[in-house]
Structure 1
Amino acid sequence: MKNLYFIGVGLIGGSLAKDIKEHNPDVVIHGISRKDATLEQALSLGLIDKKATLDDIQHADLVVVSIPVDATVKLLPTILDKVSDNGLVIDAGSTKQDICKAVENHPKRRNFLAAHPIAGTEHSGPSAAINGLFKGKTNIICEVEKTAFKLQENALDIFKTLGMRIRYMNPEAHDKHIAYVSHLSHISSFMLGKTVIEKEKNERDIFDMAGSGFASTVRLAKSSPEMWTPIFKQNKTNVIETLEEYINNLSQFKELMKQDDFEAIFDEMKNTNHIKDILKGIS
Structure 2
Amino acid sequence: MKVHIIGIGLIGGSFALAMRAAFPETEIYGSDASEENLQKAKELKLIDQFSTTKELQDADVVFIAVPVNVATKVVSETLDKVGDQSLVLDAGSTKSGLCKAIANHKNRRNFLAAHPIAGTEFSGPQAAIPDLYRNKTNIICEVEKTAFRLQERALNIFQNLGMRIRYMDPVSHDRHIAYVSHLSHISSFMLGKTVLDKERNERDIFDLAGSGFESTVRLAKSSPAMWSPIFEENKENVLETLNEYINNLTHFKELIENEDFQEVYNEMQRTNHIKSILNGIN
TM-score w.r.t. the length of structure 2 is 0.98
Aligned counterpart, 2:243: 244
Q: Distance in 1 between matches of 2:233 and 2:198?
A: 31
Corresponding residue for 1:70?
69
- Deviates further, 247-256 or 27-36: 27-36
**Within the alignment, does 1:108 sit opposite 2:107 as a pair?**
yes
Q: Is 1:124 equivalent to 2:139 in the alignment?
A: no
> For 2:249, what is the secondary structure of its paired residue?
helix
Tell me if structure 2 keeps the 8 A contact 1:113–1:141: yes
Residues 132-158 of structure 1: CA deviation (Å, up to 9, x unaligned): 111111000000000000000000000
Which residue of the partner structure matches residue 226 of structure 2?
227
Report the alpha carbon displacement of residue 71 of structure 1 after superposing the two structures with TM: 1.1
Does the 8 Å CA contact 1:114/1:141 hold for their aligned counterparts? yes
The Cα of 1:279 is off from its aligned counterpart by: 0.4
Q: CA deviation at 1:46?
A: 1.1
What is the match of residue 175 of structure 1?
A: 174
* Alignment of structure 1 residues 70-89 onto 2, 5 Å: 70-89=69-88
Residue 62 of structure 2 aligns with an amino acid whose one-letter code is: V
Q: 1:280 aligns to what SS in structure 2?
A: helix
Determine helix, strand or coil for the equivalent of 1:157: helix
Give the distance between the partners of 1:229 and 1:90, measured in 2 at CA. 22
1:144 counterpart residue number:
143
SS class of match (1:136): coil
Instruction: Return the alpha-carbon distance in structure 1 between the equivalents of residues 86 and 80 of structure 2.
Output: 11
Mean alpha-carbon deviation: is it higher for 50-59 or for 78-87?
Answer: 50-59
State the distance in 2 between where 1:108 and 1:258 align: 59
Identical-pair percentage: 62
User: Does residue 162 of the first structure (1) align with residue 161 of the second (2)?
Assistant: yes
Alpha-carbon distance in structure 1 between the residues aligned to 2:126 and 2:171 = 33
Aligned-partner Cα distance in 2 for 1:214–1:27:
42
Runs of 4+ that moved beyond 4 A: none
Note the residue ranges of structure 1 that are not aligned, 5 or more in a row.
none
Contact 1:18 1:47 (8 Å CA) reproduced: yes
Please give the root-mean-square deviation of Cα atoms over the aligned residues, in Å.
Answer: 1.1
Q: Does 1:272 align with 2:265?
A: no
Deviation at 1:164, TM superposition (A): 0.4
Q: Which amino acid aligns with 2:110?
A: N
Q: Deviations over 1:76-112 (max 9, x none)?
A: 1110000001111000000000111121000000000
- Residue 281 of structure 1 and its aligned partner are, at CA, apart by 5.1
1:199-221 per-position Cα deviation (integer Å, ceiling 9, x unaligned): 12268523310011000000000
| Alignment coverage as a number of residue pairs | 282
CA contact (8 A) 1:8 1:32 kept: yes
The CA distance in 1 between the partners of 2:128 and 2:281, in whole Å, is 20
Amino acid at match of 1:196: V
Structure 2 partner of 1:255? 254
* SS in structure 2 at match of 1:193: helix
- Do the aligned residues in 2 keep the contact of 1:113 with 1:147 (CA within 8 Å)? yes
Contact 1:32–1:54 (8 Å) recurs in 2 = no
